[in-house]
Amino acid sequence: MVAMSLVKGHCNLWVSMLVLFAAFAGGCARRLDLSTDELKLIEGKDPELVKLRVYPKRKLIALYREAEDKRTYDVEGGGINKGGVTVRGAIRPYKQILGRKVGGKIIARTELNGMPKFWVAFDNECADTACAFGFVLTELGRWQLHSVPDREKYQPAENYRRNTFKRNRLKVTKQKSLAEANEVYAIIRRGGKRVLTIDLQFVKDDWRPTRTKRDRLRGAD
């Protein structure tokens, strides 16, 4: 009797696991590039894009260097360094990191050379384009990073993709053709065969559970 009860217990457990798997197998939340086709579907339910949250496809690091050179120069009159020049002054750059999991909201929509541009705020305190990141639609059908906000008392940002290695510094350039409407931040490698950018993505939960109808043929007499 004990053995039979254990068997029944295991059977009930497997049945519960199968039911749970079937409940979640029909849906799948994943990140997709924001395309014009997807945007049309979203605008059908959210015309002003108030509810939509977008994410950068890759981590962006913006490095701001101080605009004012605070170094001081002096010529030593004595001591070990007599007659030498000494330089003093701390260097305090500002680094802003935009991670892949940080959601942003579109706060403004403009046009740039005939192509739509989204201004995305990745902070609740940002409500103006001055502090927002600009993503423009390119000929590749994706919204790609075009502008990074400036900071007071700092030089324009040096922008990097994923990390601050020299090879990962983003530059404003055309991607594939000089005929493209706008330049974007990109890394060109392999003689132009590989182009790395910062694209906008969104989360899509595709919930379509499968419920198969069955009909067993009985055969002909």
User: For the residues 67-77, what does the mean pLDDT come to?
Assistant: 71
User: For the residues 142-170, what does the mean pLDDT come to?
Assistant: 96
Which of these, 50, 46, 53, lies nearest to 29 by C-alpha position? 53
**9: which 2 tokens?**
């217990």
The residue extents of the domains of the chain are 30-69+84-204
- State residue 81's pLDDT score: 63
Is residue 19 scored above 90 in pLDDT?
A: no
Is residue 26 scored above 50 in pLDDT?
A: no
CA distance 56 to 102: 8
Does the pTM exceed 0.85?
no
**Radius of gyration for the alpha carbons in the chain, expressed in angstroms and rounded:** 28
Three-state SS string over 65-129 comes to: CECCCCCEEEECCCCCCCCCEEEECCCCCEEEEECCCCCEEEEEEEEECCEEEEEEECCCCCCCH
- State residue 147's pLDDT score: 97
User: For the residues 34-53, what does the mean pLDDT come to?
Assistant: 95
Using a 10 angstrom Cβ sphere, with 0-12 exposed, 13-18 middle and 19 or more buried, the burial of residue 168 is middle
CB contact at 8 A, 122 and 107: no
26 vs 37, which has greater pLDDT? Answer: 37
H-helix or E-strand containing 175? none
- State residue 87's pLDDT score: 66
SS3 193: coil
Cα angle, residue 142 at apex, residues 111 and 43 outer, rounded to 5°: 70
CA distance 37 to 204: 13
User: For the residues 170-181, what does the mean pLDDT come to?
Assistant: 93
